[in-house]
Every structure is written in structure tokens, then in C-alpha cells.
Amino acid sequence: MACIDLNADLGEGFGRWRLTDDERLLSVVTSANVACGFHAGDAITMRRVCELAAERGVRIGAQVSYRDLAGFGRRAMDVPPAELAAEVAYQIGALEVFARAAGARVAYVKPHGALYNRVVRDEEQAAAVVDGVLLADASLPVLGLPGSRLLELAGKAGLPVVTEAFADRAYTEAGTLVPRTLEGAVVTDPDTVVERSLSLARSGEVVSHSGTRIEVRARSLCLHGDTPGAVELARRVRERLEASGVRVEAFA
């Protein structure tokens, strides 16, 4: 039987502003990528999401980012490796305080936005992220794109690695994500997202931006929480997967 984890980016608010419907999404997903204050999130938001996740048995992941609140972590930045490693460890440590207070723990790490895309190919930045994870907790799994430098280096360092796919993002023929600056980078049709989710979970394949089928083997499927109708779409995806015999459960 096919098995898949459903993850979503949560806690992406700041102060009085809230971007994601954390409570409702936590009733659907099995893993929560919690913003750690660098691209979004703040102390009270992190605490609240950890409490909600722990209540529902949802795994808590640290979504680490470049220090870029104004750009939501999606702007390219050049951060010295030692500084980036320290900032990754800092973010994990901050979230761990709230996770443990809620009776849980940080169960994995996932980069966000520009950092996520950068460490697909940039060995120096990928190595810095790995160093940061090792500094925080050498047992933490790292969630990332199949074939990325990040997962390659994490595996060599002895960290568990978990591959991830995106049903609502367009792929290049090389298996990387189409940049958000290009038209069609985000798949918006709900029916298409649902069917892509099923294909990724059952066969490990998806149709690329150019129309060819490519292989994307993943243990976790990301459902973006900041898109319109995110909760209902997430519910549809989970219902379709389970109705088709796919077991939905956390990887960590």
C-alpha cells in the first residue's frame, strides 16, 4: 500500500497579521512546517501552533529561512556559511522550546523559500544548512527536494533524509520547481492539484511544465497553506488519497 505524509507551511503570521488558517489545516495535515521567526512567525504564534499541533498529534517541523521578514523569505540572499549555520540552529532551538512546552518536540527541518531553492544546487549553502541542523540536533530528519545537494550532504553527514513533492507547483523536466516569477509556476486548478497529488503518491510521477511525465519519488507531499481555499483543497486531497487506498501518515 502506498503511504504519504501531508505537510503544510504554518504559523506564517506576525503580530496582528495571520496568513495561514493554522487550526483548520492542522485537522488535515500530518506534519506542520512551522515558521521560526525569520521569514514569518513570532514567539506567540510559534507557541500557539506547537500547542495545536501537539493536541492533534501532528509532527512539528522547523521551517528555517534566510532572515527576510519583509520579503517573506523569498528574496535571494548571500549569507556567509558560518552565519547561516548559526541562524539555522538558532531557529530550530527557538521552536524546540515551544514544542517541548507543548509536550512534543521538533521532529524534522525544512528550509523555506529562497533558501529551499538555493540548496537544491548550491553546495556551500546546503552544507551550511546541514551544519546548522547538526549543531541543533544530529538526529533530525531533513525534508527537501529529491536529488538536491541538501539531501545529498545531509545523508553523507548521517542525518535522515526525506524527499518531498509539490502538487500545486510546476516542475521542470529536470525535476526542479519552476521559479515563481514565471507564468504557470503555481498550479491553481483544484481538480488538477488533487489528481497530481494522487499520481505523486501512487506512482511517483507528475506532468512537468513542458507536458512530459517525470519521476518525483517523495515520502511527503506539501500543501501550501497561504493559497486561497487552502483548507478545503487540503481536505479534498486527503479524502482522494485515502479513498484510493493511499495511507496518510507522518514520516517522523
Residues of the domain holding 197: 3-248
86 vs 18, 82, 103, 131, CA distance in Å?
27, 6, 26, 8
DSSP 31-99: EEEEE-SSSS--HHHHHHHHHHHHHHTPEEEEEE--S-TTTTT-S-----HHHHHHHHHHHHHHHHHHH
165 SS3 class? strand
- CATH number of the domain at 100, please: 3.20.20.370
Summarize pLDDT for 181-224 with one digit per residue, the tens.
889 999 989 999 999 999 999 999 999 999 999 999 999 999 88
11 SS3 class? coil
Could you give the number of structural domains in the chain?
1
Summarize pLDDT for 139-174 with one digit per residue, the tens.
999 999 999 999 999 999 999 999 999 989 999 999
120 SS3 class? helix
Q: Is the pTM of this model over 0.85?
A: yes
Q: Is residue 96 predicted with pLDDT exceeding 90?
A: yes
pLDDT of residue 226: 73
d(CA 119, CA 81): 12
232 SS3 class? helix
Summarize pLDDT for 116-139 with one digit per residue, the tens.
999 999 999 999 999 999 999 999
Q: Is residue 28 predicted with pLDDT exceeding 90?
A: yes
pLDDT of residue 190: 93
